[in-house]
Amino acid sequence: MAVDLSPERFIAIEDLIERVVMALRNKQPFGLTRWADSSNWIMTHGGEPADAYRYREGYLGSTDWPYFREAFLRGVDLADIVGVHPNDRGTKQAMDSAGLDLTGKALINPWCNRYVNCWREWTDEVLGGEWTVALVGNHMPAYALWMRDHFPRLRIVIVHTASHWLEVRAAMSLMGQTKPQLALLGAGWYTSCLVGAARAAGAVALSYGFTARDHLLGDFLPNTNYPRGREGAEAYMRTVRPNAVNEDQLRPRRDISI
């Protein structure tokens, strides 16, 4: 069946936050992965990565490549929501060539990882909750310090870098042993592998992307100054990305019900 990326299939960021909060409260596994340009490249590449991708994502040899690709696809398969651009022709072709089936999965704008921070509900209910947390990614050691200062109720049980395949495999194994409730993951094209491993371990596993780095830049910090609800989210959004208020998939549409 051909992959359908029509706009009608896409959910709003409010829907994502509601589903994440309910999964955490109900102790249910949940996965969000996001599809990038490098994801298309992975699907169409049959062997060892090109030099550009060794530099960009960390070296992967021809021996490791099949295991990485298998773990990548497993992460997409296990995900409940996939972040992707609507009606993107290259993505549709890559997904179809890999035989991916997104039936039953919700789709969302791939920049959702940043814009959830506009919502005070995200700050209070997800980052402010008393969850056991895994932070896996290349900026996570510094981010963990910031998170401990700002969200002391979180119980951070794993802080792990993921700059190359051996580190990624070690982090996947560690999450399987530790079984965190919440996993915030940001490791380039390795992230889907981590999402699959964390969700299989019972976690709410989220592709966190650049968000872990943004706290260092002062950009898209979690909303702690504006109230809950649509008006509060919109007011915060205007301070960080005013134009996003006019983008249909990113702008606040309604209050969150949790």
More confident residue, 254 or 39: 254
Q: State yes or no: pLDDT of 59 exceeds 80.
A: no
pLDDT score of 240: 82
To the question of pTM greater than 0.75 for the whole model, the response is: yes
Q: Is position 185 within any domain?
A: yes
Q: Is position 224 within any domain?
A: yes
3-state helix, strand, coil in the chain (%, to 5): 50, 15, 35
pLDDT tens, 131-144?
999 999 988 999 99
pLDDT band at 50 (very low <50, low <70, confident <90, very high): low
Q: Is position 258 within any domain?
A: no
Determine the average pLDDT of the residues in 211-230: 83
Are 244 and 237 within 8 A, CB to CB?
yes
Determine the average pLDDT of the residues in 20-46: 87
- Count, in order, helices (H) and strands (E) of the chain: 12, 7
pLDDT score of 250: 79
pLDDT score of 36: 77
Q: Which residues of 64-95 are buried (b: 16+ CB within 10 A; e: fewer)?
A: bbeebbebbbbbbebbbbbbbbeebeebbebb
Q: Is position 254 within any domain?
A: no
Q: Is position 257 within any domain?
A: no
pLDDT tens, 123-180?
999 999 999 999 999 889 999 999 999 999 999 999 999 988 899 999 999 999 999 9
Q: Is position 94 within any domain?
A: yes
Alpha carbon distance 92, 159 (integer Å): 34
Maximum separation of any 2 CA atoms in the chain, in Å: 52
Are 71 and 197 within 8 A, CB to CB?
yes
Domain count, the chain: 1
Q: How many CA atoms lie within 13 A of 133 on its CB side?
A: 23
Helix, coil or strand: residue 252: coil
Q: Is position 251 within any domain?
A: no
Pairing of strands 182-186, 81-83: unpaired
* Domain extent for 21: 7-246
| Mean pLDDT of the chain, nearest integer | 88
Helix, coil or strand: residue 108: strand
pLDDT tens, 12-30?
999 999 999 999 999 999 9
- The kind and range of the H/E element at 82 are strand 81-83
Q: Is position 104 within any domain?
A: yes
Compute φ and ψ for 78, nearest 5 degrees.
-80, -20
Q: Other C-beta atoms within 10 Å of 37: how many?
A: 12
pLDDT cut 70: percent of the chain above it? 89
